[in-house]
């Protein structure tokens, strides 16, 4: 729907028109095809927000000066060049969070993936309204981030909206407790226990290095140790976080401006290409379709436009002009037929924030919905 039709609708019923136009645009986006194929597995953070209602009653005793805690402290102190006595003190004060190890285990009964249900959790009016307010409040920082890193404001707004509902859900677990628990008590039943335990040990080391530098080890975050408005893991804080508000320190929990710059820097570091779409609609020519080959590379863009279409994918005029590689991304809809999009290299960049194309598409569509809402709100204001 063209925006030049908006004043006519708004002259009749402004609030209703706004919702109807956004709903229509989002419905069209859904029908054009959406895709993904892997369940969530975090890149910058360990796992998604689940079981947020776990209470402090899951807390056990402090680790104290046990042999295991002392050995861990000495190893991290040496590896991260930290004072041994200080690290021993921090680890000894960390509390065992009894419920956390269970929260990182895969579900015992896998549920069918459903893009439409997943989408409804994030593309909804309360989050769109909150995102519109966030954009208005931090418009200058978002504009500066776009100019500095080449990442569109709607992508940054989409990330922060999906991650923490614009700062409303940043987590209340002490990061020191969570990461120590997942290092010393990682569940052996996990199919990749050794790998994941090593990951959390590394994150604990990064966190201790940052806590020592800042003089504060009491930071809170998710049960997996992700922190602040953008839910960065400590290693991502070390690599990608920036002091975007210019106050001489990086604070992702109390400075939304630092969060804005850090998300943009993250995208840029993973190869975001300014001006490139994230995805295109895709259809199929069943007579030529070689879907197994198209799906084989997963979400990694691997096909030129000519190879993509030669294997039975049908693209619109804009997509046919795309210069880079494409991926056929598949998104399951429960018992209904899957949806598909042609993902670009920028779509793949979004999945580096969270290794799930369901997540990536939710971020993209939330940002787009907020951009539309913001534009229509501006038209409404000007029409009064």
* Residues with catalytic roles: 163
Nearest to residue 53, comparing CAs of 222, 268, 217, 209?
222
Give the separation between CA 341 and CA 348, rounded to whole angstroms.
Answer: 12
Question: CB-based burial of residue 383 (10 Å sphere; 0-12 exposed, 13-18 middle, 19+ buried)?
Answer: exposed
Token match 């500095």: residue?
148
Residues 6 or more apart in contact with residue 154 via CB below 8 angstroms:
367, 368, 370, 371
Q: Are 12 and 363 in contact (CB under 8 A)?
A: no
Give the separation between CA 375 and CA 320, rounded to whole angstroms.
Answer: 29
Residues 6 or more apart in contact with residue 97 via CB below 8 angstroms:
58, 59, 60, 173, 177, 178, 181, 223
Rg, Å, the chain Cα set: 23
Angle at 213 between CA 179 and CA 177, to 5 degrees: 20
**Tokens matching residue 116:** 């439409």
Q: Are 251 and 221 in contact (CB under 8 A)?
A: no
Q: Are 327 and 298 in contact (CB under 8 A)?
A: yes
Residue 353's φ and ψ, nearest 5 degrees, are -75, -35
Nearest to residue 73, comparing CAs of 184, 224, 193?
184
Residues 6 or more apart in contact with residue 282 via CB below 8 angstroms:
33, 313, 314, 315, 319, 328, 340, 341, 342
Helix (H) or strand (E) holding 240: helix 234-240
Q: Are 47 and 58 in contact (CB under 8 A)?
A: no
């Amino acid at each position: 729907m063209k925006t030049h039709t908006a004043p006519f609708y708004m002259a009749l019923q402004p609030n209703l028109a706004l919702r109807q136009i956004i709903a229509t645009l989002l419905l069209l986006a859904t029908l054009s095809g959406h895709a993904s194929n892997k369940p969530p597995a975090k890149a910058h953070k360990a796992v998604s927000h689940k079981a947020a209602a776990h209470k402090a009653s899951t807390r056990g005793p402090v680790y104290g000066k046990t042999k295991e805690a002392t050995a861990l402290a000495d190893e991290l102190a040496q590896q991260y060049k930290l004072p041994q006595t200080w690290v021993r003190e921090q680890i000894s004060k960390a509390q065992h969070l009894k419920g956390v190890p269970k929260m990182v285990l895969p579900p015992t009964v896998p549920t069918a993936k459903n893009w439409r249900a997943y989408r409804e959790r994030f593309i909804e009016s309360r989050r769109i309204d909150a995102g519109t307010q966030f954009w208005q409040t931090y418009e200058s920082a978002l504009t500066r981030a776009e100019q500095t890193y080449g990442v569109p404001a709607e992508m940054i707004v989409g990330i922060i909206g999906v991650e923490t509902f614009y700062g409303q859900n940043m987590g209340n677990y002490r990061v020191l407790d969570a990461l120590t628990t997942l290092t010393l008590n990682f569940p052996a039943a996990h199919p990749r226990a050794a790998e994941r335990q090593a990951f959390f040990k590394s994150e604990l080391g990064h966190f201790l290095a940052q806590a020592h530098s800042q003089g504060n080890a009491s930071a809170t975050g998710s049960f997996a140790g992700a922190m602040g408005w953008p839910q960065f893991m400590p290693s991502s804080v070390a690599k990608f976080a920036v002091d975007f508000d210019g106050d001489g320190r990086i604070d992702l929990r109390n400075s939304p401006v630092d969060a804005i710059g850090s998300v943009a820097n993250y995208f840029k570091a993973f190869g975001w290409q300014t001006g490139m779409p994230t995805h295109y609609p895709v259809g199929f020519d069943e007579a030529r379709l070689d879907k197994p080959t198209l799906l084989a590379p997963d979400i990694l863009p691997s096909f030129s436009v000519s190879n993509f279409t030669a294997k039975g994918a049908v693209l619109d005029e804009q997509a046919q002009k795309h210069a880079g590689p494409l991926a056929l991304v598949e998104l399951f809809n429960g018992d209904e037929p899957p949806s598909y999009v042609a993902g670009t290299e920028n779509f793949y960049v979004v999945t580096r924030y969270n290794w799930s194309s369901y997540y990536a598409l939710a971020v993209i569509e939330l940002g787009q919905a907020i951009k539309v809402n913001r534009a229509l709100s501006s038209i409404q204001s000007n029409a009064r």
